[in-house]
Amino acid sequence: MQPVATPPASQPSAVRASAAGHADAPAVEFRRISKAFGAVQANADVSFAIRAGTIHGVIGENGAGKSTLMSILYGYYQADSGDLVIKGQPRTIRTSMDAMRLGIGMVHQHFMLVDTMTVLDNVMLGNEGAFRLAPRRAAVLQELRDICARYRLDVDPLALVHDLSVGAQQRVEILKQIHRSADILILDEPTAVLTAQETASLFEILRLFKAQGKTIILITHKLQEIMDITDDVTVMRAGRVVGAVRTQDTSREQLATMMVGRPLQSELPRAPYAPGAEVLKVSGLNLTDANGVRLLSDIDLTLRAGEIVAIAGVSGNGQSELLEILSGMRLPTSGQLDFLGRALPFAGRAHADGLPAAFRKLGMAHVPEDRLRDGVIKDFSVMQNTVFGYQDGMTNRWGLLDLRAIARRCAGLLQAFDVRPNNPDLRIGLLSGGNQQKVVIAREVAAAPKLMLVGQPTRGVDIGTIESIHTELLRLRDEGVAILLSSVELEEVRALADRIVVMSGGRITGELPVDEFDTTRIGLLMGGMHTS
Amino acid sequence: MTKTDLPRWATGFVLPLLNLLSALLVAALVIRLLGESPIESLTILVNSAIVNPEGLAYTLFYASTFVFTGLAVSVAMQAGLFNIGAEGQMYVGGLGLTIAMLAFDAHLPGWLLIPAGMLGAALFGALWAFLPGWLQAKRGSHVVVTTIMFNFIAASLMNFIIVKYLIPEGQQNPASRVFADGAALPLLSTWFPQLGDTPLNIALPLAVVALAAYGILVWRSSWGYRLRATGLNARAAHYAGVRISRTIVVTMLISGALAGFAAVNSVLGSTHYLSLNFPAGAGFVGIAIALMGRQHPVGIFLSSVLFGALIQGGFDLSLEKPNIPQETFIFIQGLIILFCGAMENLYAPALRRLLGAARPRHATTKEPA
Amino acid sequence: MEDLHIATIVVSTIRNAPVLMFAALAGLFAERSGVVDIGLEGKILGSAFASAAVAYATQNPWYGVLAGVAVSTALALVQAFVSITQKGNQLVCGIAINIAMSGLTFVLAQFFFQQGGRTPDLGDNRLAEIVLPGTAALDNVPFLGWLYGHVIGGHSVLVYAAFALVPVVHWVVYHSRFGLRLRACGENPHALDAAGVSVERTRYLAMFVAGVLCSFSGAYLAIVQSGFFLRDMSAGAGYLALTALVFGNWRPLHTVLGCLMFGLFGAIQIQLEGVDLPVVGRIPGSLIQMIPYVVTVVVLAGLMAKSVAPKAIGKPFVKSR
């Protein structure tokens, strides 16, 4: 069987052909790469090498600089200083075309696919060969079928992208890169959207690539993945390389320590588990969307005061929709919600217009999973955002906002939650992700809710803030607030939950108390009803 | 419309000024091509519209109308709605005004009659904006195209109504009968004789009051907070409990009412009868004003005065220079909308560079992940 | 008698449609690439004036058409600059161009021709009508003679161009490299960018094509349908074309059906004037004029078809990492 398919006619031949004499040169070498965005040094003097034909992990928590580094490699940004050496030759990569010509391919976290077109058309985009599409189509179709067979990619090239599952879409992204003769493949947080089974399939595919002599760069923050599949690991922290080791020579604990700079906080203090009265009862919740797709099926859930229930699951399995319904942003198709013993007021409504306000009034608070899209007004000041959703309660008798009271309250919140910079008039869009999240949480906590809905509390948040957010959530729990939390990070679920509920394919596939936490079991439940 | 991270005085004053100057520069070029001197034209315009006290009175008279159409468009913009229908809403508002006058002007004294007319104007203007607003809220029909369509529909409808029902017996002119004397808005020349025989009336102080109310309501009230949140991020506003559908409809109603109210000055302050196409483009001027004035009360006022000057000065200019007819100012309007609205950030990079050279960067920029 | 009316309606529909067809197909390219084209109206007006003026001045309608192309394309490129490079508000830009052209065309017409803002009549010097061979011979044959001579044959060159354009546009959009990139641009420009193709360049090209196509709408309006330019003569055609796009779900064939529908309403409109209808009597002309605009609102209210716009429409492209 032939190795990698011959490159398409319009592409220059891969650099691999001139590998003679550079056979043991690293596939990629970063030499003193530095990059700053304004006052933030995203990459500082980064130097390490990636051996050819290996799977190389780059690990670090949010804001460590790994994505920036890969963006430089792929031509999206130019480094301020330093060199890139690809397959033994120093190279200037100014655009992603340059990177592609060097055989570098990137599978992004957010797929770059056109939903309304077929897989075939998506692959041909940018690579069409001629003004008329028809001649190349047949050839490319065959090439894709060959690649799919060789790497067991299980994708139908004539399928429409939006009919494919998330896992399949990711395989399309990989297919695109292989078709362009990429032999250095960058994968940016690939397993964030995959179930355990799909992750296993992906890793099989990666091992096949490695066997064919390709180099894989895996960007991740999941320690277990590093241990499972990589040969070498580079650890980044605050824009610098803090460790570069062979995977076999290290351990999860060691990597974690390097990642964080200090030993991982083993466990945050919490009061003994003593849940109180029932706060929320979800009965038979169903959600079907306009296209007839069942997003939620028969959801039953109970939440008591003083407990944290965490919903574990890969994103896209209904958790987002569930939180939207529970917060009043969306109406269910059927089902019952009881809050503090009384049914929530959405019966007979045609739409959810204004419903979140009603829920808030009853004592529910919501930290949305996408804070920029849903939780804040980017162009409003920090102070204005501290009353977002609560502005009607901060007025004087003429309906005008009581600015002094708002300012006082804001000052208190910024202080208590250590928001930086402590400037109430700054546009919130200028704050870091972690500080924005602190403002949102501060605001919701200040309403003294009986129930807190929290979606992905630490997405895009730096490690220091993660700990303070976790501490705050535990404090609320100890004070008797019922918290329903949704997270794709199993570590977070384990750290915070009293009870864990696992969702897959719009259903609850399992429930267990935290002391029965078992990665394998939860992984199976997460993959439970999922059809790939 | 993107906000830059330039200081407020730069985005609020310098950029709009530069944009305005660019528009005027292009206009000057065209005037040159028409064989006239831009400087001379500008001089005639300024003399007529500002220097001459009676001309100034006319400028302010026109400005009074424009403040209301400018407010109409501005309020809608705050909610993220682009109301192009102010023209039609003003036209139909004129009908509401007329109905009140025709029904009551023989029976009611002025101090009851005029408010009745104002109510009729606002009501009918709001009515005309209701359907586009409702369609946007409930069916997602884009308010830009629907309001434009309603402008055309209004033109046809009003044509029909005026010709069929309002022309008095024996008249040829497509207009209603003249309203009773009591229906005239009190003229400001009653108190300020220097203003001479000009139509400047109480609509001007009313306009100022409206601007103040707008400023307070939009920036200081919780209703205004909800309005601006909706315009900036409707989904987040929904999260915050704002009733988006209702907000859209109410905003369009208010916008239509304001546009309708603009008819009061045009009709009761000037002609005293309803005539065909009396808005004469005031609704579209409102769009230019809202963009140029950046939906800010002071900006709206200044822009309204500017346009009043352009109309007044433009009229005299067209008499003296037949090559520069009044339609030239429609062209200038378009240029202003282009530079102040669509190209509002044209000079921002240059300004940023200029300022960046003078002061150090904020240390609070968000890091990429 | 009734047959004559229907016959006239059919022929009128065919002759009304091209104004909208050119504009709608122009809008299709712009909007499929992700740029909202509210400025069709201004481009139609601008090219209508330019083509009528130059056609009169040179006594050659084809030079007029060329002039129209130049003006409309220039305007389209201004829109492109504002929308793509400046990342400005596309709706505002379109409205600005429409208003600016409304004023400028009048002023220039007045300046050059002193006829109250219109251009002089072109008389017979319009684009030739194509009379199919054998029309006179078949004239006496019932129905077929009419079909051959007046429905299929006997229209202006531009009418045939408009209809011929439809399969061409369809092919370009769905079977050419440009079309593939165009569609990607409008649905997910990041995908196009990641593939190494310039989003900006694709959009500029799309706007250029839109400019060229739209110009024929104005040229047709001024040279073929009327023989002169008159102030604001487009009367909302640009917006009707946009509505046809919504109606046709941004697909060439269906969009043209929408244009034909509007053409049909226009034809019926003319027939209704001065006609006594049962029950309602004679409908006044001004109310009949409303019909196309009311139809537009009905279409936009979604009462006629469920419509899905290109996903990335109206959003300036900003590379995000």
Residues of chain B with Cβ-Cβ distance to A325 below 8 Å are: none
Residues of chain C with Cβ-Cβ distance to B139 below 8 Å are: 300-302
Of the candidate ranges A17-26, A511-520, B219-228, C102-111, the one whose mean pLDDT is the lowest: A17-26
Of B144, B160, B368, the CB nearest to C38: B144
Q: Given this model, what pLDDT does residue A4 score?
A: 39
Q: Do C191 and A112 touch (CB under 8 A)?
A: yes
Say yes or no: C132 contacts chain B, CB-CB below 8 A: no
Q: Which residues 215-234 in chain A show a CB within 8 A of chain B?
A: none
Of A358, A377, A460, the CB nearest to B233: A377
Q: Given this model, what pLDDT does residue A5 score?
A: 41
pLDDT above 60 (res C28): yes
Of C180, C188, C193, the CB nearest to A121: C180
Kindly tell me the sign of the dihedral angle through the C-alpha atoms of C107, C113, C116, C121. Answer: negative
B367, closest residue in chain C (CA to CA): C321
Could you tell me how many CB contacts below 8 A there are between chain A and chain C? 68
The rounded distance, in Å, linking the Cα atoms of C129 and C152 is 12
**In a mutagenesis test of the B interface, which of C293, C294, C295, C321 is the best target, namely the one with the most B β-carbons within 10 Å?**
C293
**In a mutagenesis test of the C interface, which of B158, B337, B340 is the best target, namely the one with the most C β-carbons within 10 Å?**
B337
The rounded distance, in Å, linking the Cα atoms of C191 and C186 is 10
Q: How far lies B368's CA from each of A220, A367, A433, C281, in Å?
A: 16, 22, 9, 69
pLDDT in tens, A365-387: 999 999 999 999 999 999 999 99
Give the single-character DSSP code of A12: P
Residues of chain B with Cβ-Cβ distance to C101 below 8 Å are: 334
Residues of chain A with Cβ-Cβ distance to C197 below 8 Å are: 125-126
Say yes or no: C243 contacts chain B, CB-CB below 8 A: yes
Tokens standing for C74?
A: 């220039």
Q: List residues of C whose CB lies inside 8 A of any A CB.
A: 175-178, 180-181, 183-184, 187-188, 190-197, 311, 319, 321
Residues of chain C with Cβ-Cβ distance to B334 below 8 Å are: 96-104
Of B221, B229, B364, the CB nearest to A430: B364
Read off the pLDDT of each residue in A282-307 and give the average, rounded to a whole number. 91
The rounded distance, in Å, linking the Cα atoms of C241 and C24 is 5
Q: Do A100 and C196 touch (CB under 8 A)?
A: yes
The rounded distance, in Å, linking the Cα atoms of B251 and C69 is 41
- Beta bridge partners of residue A485, listed in sequence order: A310, A454
By the 8 A CB rule, do B116 and B104 touch? yes
pLDDT in tens, C105-135: 999 999 999 888 888 888 877 877 777 777 7
- Give the pairing of strands A499-504 and A507-513: antiparallel
Burial A430-446 (b: 16+ CB within 10 A, else e): bbbbbbbbbbbbbbbbb
Query: What's the fold here for domain C2-303?
Result: ABC transporter involved in vitamin B12 uptake, BtuC (1.10.3470)
Where chain B has pLDDT below 70, the residues are 1-5, 358-369
Q: Given this model, what pLDDT does residue A22 score?
A: 46
Q: Is the pLDDT higher at C271 or at A185?
A: A185
Cα C81–C83–C84 angle (5° rounding)? 70
Q: Given this model, what pLDDT does residue A61 score?
A: 74
**In a mutagenesis test of the A interface, which of B219, B222, B361 is the best target, namely the one with the most A β-carbons within 10 Å?**
B222
Read off the pLDDT of each residue in C67-80 and give the average, rounded to a whole number. 97
Q: Given this model, what pLDDT does residue A126 score?
A: 84
Q: Which residues 266-295 in chain C show a CB within 8 A of chain B?
A: 284, 286-287, 289-290, 293-294
What one-character-per-residue DSSP string does C93-133 give?
A: HHHHHHHHHHHHHHHHHHHHH-SSS-PPP-TT-SPPEEPPT
Q: Do C196 and A108 touch (CB under 8 A)?
A: no
Query: What's the fold here for domain B44-345?
Result: ABC transporter involved in vitamin B12 uptake, BtuC (1.10.3470)
Tokens standing for A47?
A: 């130097």
Q: How far lies A444's CA from each of A229, A367, A368, B242, C48, in Å?
A: 41, 7, 10, 16, 59
Tokens standing for B218?
A: 């939009």
Q: Quote the minimal CA–CA distance from C246 to chain A in Å.
A: 18
pLDDT above 90 (res A498): yes
By the 8 A CB rule, do C97 and C75 touch? yes
The rounded distance, in Å, linking the Cα atoms of A223 and A227 is 6
- Beta bridge partners of residue C130, listed in sequence order: C155
Q: Do C176 and A132 touch (CB under 8 A)?
A: yes
Q: At a CB cut-off of 8 Å and minimum separation 6, what does B132 contact? A: B83, B85, B141, B143, B146, B147, B150, B252
pLDDT above 60 (res A23): no
Q: Given this model, what pLDDT does residue A259 score?
A: 77
pLDDT in tens, A325-354: 999 999 999 999 999 988 887 777 888 999
Q: How far lies A83's CA from each of A51, A58, A69, A73, A106, in Å?
A: 17, 18, 12, 10, 20
Give the single-character DSSP code of A248: G
| Confidence check on the interface: ipTM exceeds 0.95, yes or no | no
Q: Is the pLDDT higher at A443 or at A189?
A: A443
How much is the mean pLDDT over chain C? 88
Please report where in the chains the tokens 């946007």 appear, as a residue: B136
Say yes or no: A47 contacts chain C, CB-CB below 8 A: no
- Give the pairing of strands A451-455 and A482-487: parallel
B215, closest residue in chain A (CA to CA): A400
How much is the mean pLDDT over chain A? 87
Q: Given this model, what pLDDT does residue A528 score?
A: 63
Say yes or no: A327 contacts chain C, CB-CB below 8 A: no
Q: Do C195 and A71 touch (CB under 8 A)?
A: no
Domains detected in chain A: 15-260 (3.40.50.300), 278-363+449-527 (3.40.50.300)
pLDDT above 70 (res A406): yes
A41, closest residue in chain B (CA to CA): B367
Q: Do B341 and C92 touch (CB under 8 A)?
A: yes
pLDDT above 90 (res C184): yes
Say yes or no: B217 contacts chain C, CB-CB below 8 A: no
Please report where in the chains the tokens 């003229």 appear, as a residue: B187
| B93 Rama class: left (phi>0) / alpha (psi -120 to 50) / beta | alpha
Q: Given this model, what pLDDT does residue B184 score?
A: 87
Identify which of A187-196, A206-215, C19-28 has the greatest average pLDDT: C19-28
Read off the pLDDT of each residue in A233-241 and give the average, rounded to a whole number. 90
By the 8 A CB rule, do A163 and A191 touch? no
Q: Do C321 and A67 touch (CB under 8 A)?
A: yes
Residues of chain C with Cβ-Cβ distance to A100 below 8 Å are: 196
pLDDT above 50 (res C321): no
Residues of chain B with Cβ-Cβ distance to A63 below 8 Å are: 367, 369
The rounded distance, in Å, linking the Cα atoms of A355 and B240 is 9
Q: Which residues 101-160 in chain B show a CB within 8 A of chain C?
A: 131, 135, 139-142, 144-146, 148-150, 152-153, 156-157, 159-160
How much is the mean pLDDT over chain B? 90
Residues of chain A with Cβ-Cβ distance to B226 below 8 Å are: 391
Q: Do A114 and C193 touch (CB under 8 A)?
A: no
Q: Do C194 and A134 touch (CB under 8 A)?
A: no
Could you tell me how many CB contacts below 8 A there are between chain B and chain C? 153
Q: Given this model, what pLDDT does residue B367 score?
A: 39
Read off the pLDDT of each residue in A23-39 and give the average, rounded to a whole number. 85
Say yes or no: A353 contacts chain B, CB-CB below 8 A: yes
What residue ranges do the domains of chain B occupy?
44-345
Q: Quote the minimal CA–CA distance from C93 to chain B in Å.
A: 5
- Beta bridge partners of residue A310, listed in sequence order: A485, A500
The rounded distance, in Å, linking the Cα atoms of B156 and C171 is 40
pLDDT above 70 (res A179): yes
Read off the pLDDT of each residue in A414-433 and give the average, rounded to a whole number. 90
What residue ranges do the domains of chain C occupy?
2-303
The rounded distance, in Å, linking the Cα atoms of B49 and A110 is 58
C92, closest residue in chain B (CA to CA): B342
Residues of chain A with Cβ-Cβ distance to C173 below 8 Å are: none
Q: Do B331 and C243 touch (CB under 8 A)?
A: no
- Give the pairing of strands A482-487 and A308-312: parallel
Among A161, A157, A173, A155, smallest CA distance to A117 is for A161
Residues of chain B with Cβ-Cβ distance to C98 below 8 Å are: 334
Q: Given this model, what pLDDT does residue B2 score?
A: 40
Of the candidate ranges A2-16, B142-156, C307-321, the one whose mean pLDDT is the lowest: A2-16
Q: Do A433 and B232 touch (CB under 8 A)?
A: no
Tokens standing for B195?
A: 């203003």
Q: Which alpha helices (DSSP H) does chain B contain, by range?
A: 8-9, 15-33, 38-46, 53-78, 86-104, 110-139, 143-161, 203-220, 222-232, 234-239, 244-266, 282-292, 297-320, 327-336, 348-356
**Position A463 confidence tier, pLDDT thresholds 50, 70, 90:** confident
The count of other CB atoms within 10 Å of the CB of residue A55 is: 26
